[in-house]
Amino acid sequence: MRTPPPRPHPWRRRLADQGRAYAFLLGGVLCFALFSWYPAIRAVVIAFQKYTPGAEAEWVGTANFTRILHDPEFADAWRNTLTFTVLALLIGFAVPFVLALVLNELRHAKAFFRVVVYLPVMIPPVVSALLWKWFYDPGAGLANEALRFLHLPTSNWSNGADTALVSLVLVATWANMGGTVLIYLAALQSVPGELYEAAELDGASLLQRVRHVTVPATRFVILMLMLLQIIATMQVFTEPFVITGGGPENATVTVLYLIYKYAFLYNDFGGACALSVMLLLLLGAFSAAYLRLTRSDGEDA
């Protein structure tokens, strides 16, 4: 047996404990302070300044906001981002939802389906964007070849002003739906079988069972996945940057793309931060709703 070391004064011991606790805490907290907390404050500050790296910052009041509000691209970017989000909800949510419903009924090759549907998620987003840019190629692109093979009229895909945005939504859906399918599939497995049995005894058809049993029983996960999808698609950047470069005719400029352009093409960091603050407020509202939802569920469970 070892004898315990002599006890120092309690307050000294407390101080030493605190010192050690902070030694563990310091590195992580410093990173949060530098790369999360400070930038959040700084975004708001610079939004009201004329800011060029290396030069003295100048207070300009709300000039940045009025300038970006008068930029014709501003309205385009918001309209495109909102359209993208709505389309991604319609296509990018309906497809994985139905797919998960069907997959949950299949009793064979379960592992195969799960691996295959998640495969595109693991392909780097840049690669899937470049891949689909090649598919959408008006010359030897696979998309038009497939339409010709089926004797259907060809499309301009990402090169047409009216089809570009939908084409990008298809890419984003293809690349990201694996996660949604897997999460929803897990939720479906928690629906008690007796509910289906009872509904069937009451004479409910297949679609009625989906509507009155499956959807209400998984309502929470559906809402959560929708919010996550909205938050993710409102920050879309890689697909428009790589596939269309924001074109044709600004048809695919998104808010995040516009932020990038203000900062790195126009060298206007004040405008970029003003835009960031707007995006931040909107997305923050969605995030708050999401966190509230997940937290209240955690307390129930």
Partner 1 sequence: MSATRTLVSPAVLARPRGKAVYWAVFTGVVLLFALAFLFPVYWMVTGAMKSPDEVARTPPTVVPERWHTSGFTDAWELMRLPVHLGNTVVQAAGAWLCQLVLCTAAAYALSKLRPAFGKVILGGILATLMVPAQALVVPKYLTVADLGLLNDPLAIWLPAVANAFNLYLLKRFFDQIPRDVLEAAAIDGAGRLRVLWSIVLPLSRPVLGVVSIFALVAVWQDFLWPLMVFSDTDRQPISVALVQLSQNIPLTVLVAAMVIASIPMVALFLVFQRHIIAGISAGGTKG
Q: Which of residues 168-187 bind partner 1 (CB under 8 A)?
A: 174, 179, 182-187
Contact stretch for partner 1 (CB under 8 A) within 63-71, 84-92, 154-162, 269-277? 269-277
Which span (28-36, 58-66, 76-84, 150-158) binds partner 1, by CB under 8 A?
28-36
| d(C-alpha 258, C-alpha 274), whole Å | 11
Alpha helix (H) ranges present in the chain? 10-32, 38-46, 63-70, 72-105, 110-122, 125-135, 142-149, 164-188, 193-201, 206-209, 215-217, 219-233, 238-239, 255-264, 269-300
Q: Going residue by residue from 30 to 69, which x/- string records binding to partner 1, judged by CB under 8 A?
A: -xx-xxxxxxx-xx--x----x-x----------------
Residue located via tokens 């981002």: 81
Taking Cα atoms as reference points, which of 163, 154, 160 lies closest to residue 248? 160
Contact call for residue 20 and partner 1 (CB under 8 A): yes
CB of 63 to partner 1, least distance (A): 17
Q: Which of 6, 9, 11, 27 binds partner 1 (CB under 8 A)?
A: 27
Q: What are phi and psi of 295, to 5 degrees?
A: -70, -45
Distance in Å, CB of 214 to partner 1, minimum = 7
Q: How far apart are CA 163 and CA 188, in angstroms?
A: 34
Q: Does 217 bind partner 1 (CB under 8 A)?
A: no
Match 């920050």 to its residue by tokens: 235
9 versus 206: smaller Cβ distance to partner 1? 206
Distance CA 286, CA 89 (A): 14
Residues 76-95 that bind partner 1 (CB under 8 A): none
117 binds partner 1 (CB under 8 A): yes
Question: Cβ of residue 241: shortest distance to partner 1, in angstroms?
Answer: 8
- Write down the least CB distance from residue 246 to partner 1, Å: 14
- Span of 62-70, 80-88, 116-124, 151-159 interacting with partner 1 by CB under 8 A: 116-124
Give the phi and the psi of residue 58 in degrees, each rounded to 5: -120, 135
Q: How far is the CB of 191 from partner 1 (least distance, A)?
A: 8
Contact 31, 250 (CB under 8 A): no
Residues 134-163 that bind partner 1 (CB under 8 A): 134-135, 139-140, 142, 145, 148-149
Shortest Å, Cβ 61 to partner 1: 19
Shortest distance, position 97 Cβ to partner 1, whole Å: 13
* Cα separations in angstroms, 215 against 38, 41, 184, 258: 42, 41, 11, 38
Near partner 1 by CB under 8 A: residue from 49, 81, 85, 214: 214
Kind and range of the H or E run holding 49? strand 49-50
d(CA 170, CA 193): 34
